[in-house]
Amino acid sequence: MRRAMIIGQPGSGKSTLARALGQITDLPVIHIDQILWQTGWIQRSRPEIDALCLEAHARPCWIFEGGHSSTWAQRLERCDTLIWLDVPLARRLYRVLLRTLRHHGRTRPDLTPGCHEHFDTEFLVWMWNTRNSAREKMRRLYETAPADKALYRFTRFAEVDRFLDDVRNRVATS
């Protein structure tokens, strides 16, 4: 694994998995939210986001977690591993509420400094409204990925834990 692409809907555990994989493999981790947002929750322009994503894709190795589907094709082309966290909505909502409480008023490690965690009803509504369309887009990406990619789809966190154990064992024996 030299370049891993992690996709999933909000609260699916993308950032948590990316950080854990980064610690195990020593690969640099790229969080899409640090590309999307400037201090104070100011969103960058789409051309700027695209350019920053493409710049990140060009690096020799990475773990890139998150969305911005307009650059998925280029990311998929460069990655050797695609991981889809296909977690049920109820579990994701629970995790988002938990992280909001845990980090309220502070910046999470996967966010740009100055983007303080807060309760955001609009975000929860967006999660609900995109639950099917976003999942379908990820399903299509996953199912049409080239045969030379290592593909992983996890629906339960226990599966992610077993995957991380396997990666740890492979790194330890290499």
Is the model's pLDDT at 28 over the cut of 90?
A: yes
Per-residue confidence band for 81, with pLDDT thresholds at 50, 70 and 90: very high
pLDDT, tens digit, 9 for 90 and up, residues 30-51: 999 999 999 999 999 999 999 9
Distance CA 152, CA 81 (A): 8
Distance CA 20, CA 36 (A): 22
Distance CA 41, CA 24 (A): 30
Distance CA 126, CA 113 (A): 23
- pTM for the complete prediction? 0.94
Residues near 49 by beta carbon (within 8 Å), at least 6 away in sequence? 35, 36, 68
pLDDT, tens digit, 9 for 90 and up, residues 123-141: 899 899 999 999 999 999 9
Is the model's pLDDT at 23 over the cut of 90?
A: yes
Distance CA 107, CA 149 (A): 34
Total number of residues shown for the chain: 174
In the block, residue with structure tokens 């790229």? 30
User: Hey, CA dihedral for 74, 78, 62, 173, is it positive or negative?
Assistant: positive
Instruction: Classify strands 3-8 and 81-85 as parallel, antiparallel or unpaired.
Output: parallel
Please give the C-alpha separations between residue 70 and each of 16, 23, 46, 137, 157, in angstroms, as whole numbers: 23, 28, 9, 11, 27
In the block, residue with structure tokens 């999307």? 36
Per-residue confidence band for 114, with pLDDT thresholds at 50, 70 and 90: very high
What average pLDDT does range 12-29 have in this prediction?
97
Helix (H) or strand (E) holding 1: none
* Superfamily per CATH, domain 3-167: P-loop containing nucleotide triphosphate hydrolases (3.40.50.300)
